[in-house]
Structure 1
C-alpha cells in the first residue's frame, strides 16, 4: 500500500490518492505493530496446532509408551548475535533459547530421542545450529544426541535439508 502510494506520488498526477495510500499504509503498519493486535493474530495462528501432549506419550510410571515413535525433536533457530566475544548463551536469540530449552526438556523426557538443530550461516559466518549445539552441550546434551543441519537459510529451507 505504501509502495503504491509512493509510486503514485512520484510518477503520477494523482498526488492526493498517493498521499492517502501512504498515510493509510503507515497507519496500518503502526497499528499492526502493537502487541495487542499482532498478539491476537499470532494466537489465532498458533491455536491451530496443539502442543505435544506428553501424557499421551508417557506411561503413568514415567516411561515412554510410544518411545520408538518419537525419535527426533526438531529445534529451529531464530537468529544469533554476530558478536563472537559474547558467551554462546548470549549469542543465541531469546526465541532460539526458549526453543532450545523446550527441545532439551522433551529430549530428557523421551529417552532415545535425538535433537535436530537447524540453522544455516548467520551474519558472522558461523552456522546458527553450531552455536545452538554449544549451548545445548553446556546444558548437558551430548554431541551424540544432536544432529546439526547447517545448510538452510530460513524457515522455508529447514525441511529441505
Structure 2
C-alpha cells in the first residue's frame, strides 16, 4: 500500500503528469483522434509552464505555509515538554560531512530544531525518521548532524522506526505519553498535515514551521514573471501536500 501511495503521488506531479499527457496525445493521434491528441499534446507543456510560474506556484503554496506562524522563541511556550524534528532525506552513502548528507529540507528542519533547543536546552530534542532498504535510519543522520552542530548526545532522542508522518506522531506518543505537548518542527508546507496527525495521536503539538518558500521572489523582479524550475518545485510541494491532506481525510 505504501509503494502504491508513493507511485500515485509521483505520477501526479507536474513532469510525470505532463509525460503521461504527451504519451496519451501521441497515442490518440496514432489512433486517428486528431483533435483529442493535439489537445493533449498542447496541454502537457502548458501545464508545466503554468505551474513553473511564480504567481501560480505561490498561490498554491502560500495557503499551506501561512496557516501557522513560526516560533521565534521557545521560551514563549513553557508548556512544551520536547522539541520534535520530523524526518526528511538522508544519503549516508555519500562521502561528505554529515550535514551535507541531509537534504535541504532536513537540514533546515534540524537547524530550526537546534535553534529552539538552544533556547530551551533542558528539553529533549527528538529527531525522527526510519530507514529505506539498505540504508541507515534518517533519525540517525539527524542525530549525527545535531551532535556535529553542538547538541549533547544525551539530549537527543532518535526515533528510528517511523516511515511517515502518522507513524512519527504515534512513535512520539510512545516515548512521551499521551497528552504531551511538543514543539513540532517541520517544513511550513507540511506543518498543517503534521499537526493534524499529532492531534490524532493524542498529543498537543505547537506548530514550529520552517523553510518557507512562497513569496521569496518579489513581483517587482523579472524572476517572478519568468517560469523556472524553482517555482515548479514549489508547485510540486504544494500539490504533494494537498494530496496528502486528501488521502488523510484532513481539511485543506
Match of 1:45 in 2: 64
Aligned length: 152
For 2:153 and 2:108, locate their aligned partners in 1 and report how far apart those are by CA, in whole Å.
Answer: 20
- Cα RMSD (Å): 2.7
Q: Between the two structures, name the one with larger relative contact order (CA 8 Å, sep ≥ 6).
A: 2
Change (3 A) 1:27 1:77: same
Q: Secondary structure at the match of 1:132?
A: helix
Structure 2: tracts of 5 or more residues without a match:
1-16, 172-252
For 2:137 and 2:143, locate their aligned partners in 1 and report how far apart those are by CA, in whole Å.
Answer: 10
Q: Which structure has the larger Rg over C-alpha atoms?
A: 1
After superposition, what is the alpha-carbon deviation per residue over 1:32-85, rounded to whole angstroms, capped at 9, x for unaligned?
134553234222211111112538x44xxxxxxx53x11121112221235342
- Range with bigger deviation, 17-26 or 134-143: 17-26
Provide TM-score, normalisation by structure 2: 0.52
Match of 2:126 in 1: 116
Structure 1: tracts of 5 or more residues without a match:
59-65
For 1:82 and 1:160, locate their aligned partners in 2 and report how far apart those are by CA, in whole Å.
Answer: 26
Match of 2:243 in 1: none
Provide TM-score, normalisation by structure 1: 0.76
Match of 2:39 in 1: 20
2:156 to 136, 146, 156: 146
Once the 2 structures are TM-superposed, how far is the Cα of residue 107 of structure 1 from its aligned partner?
0.8
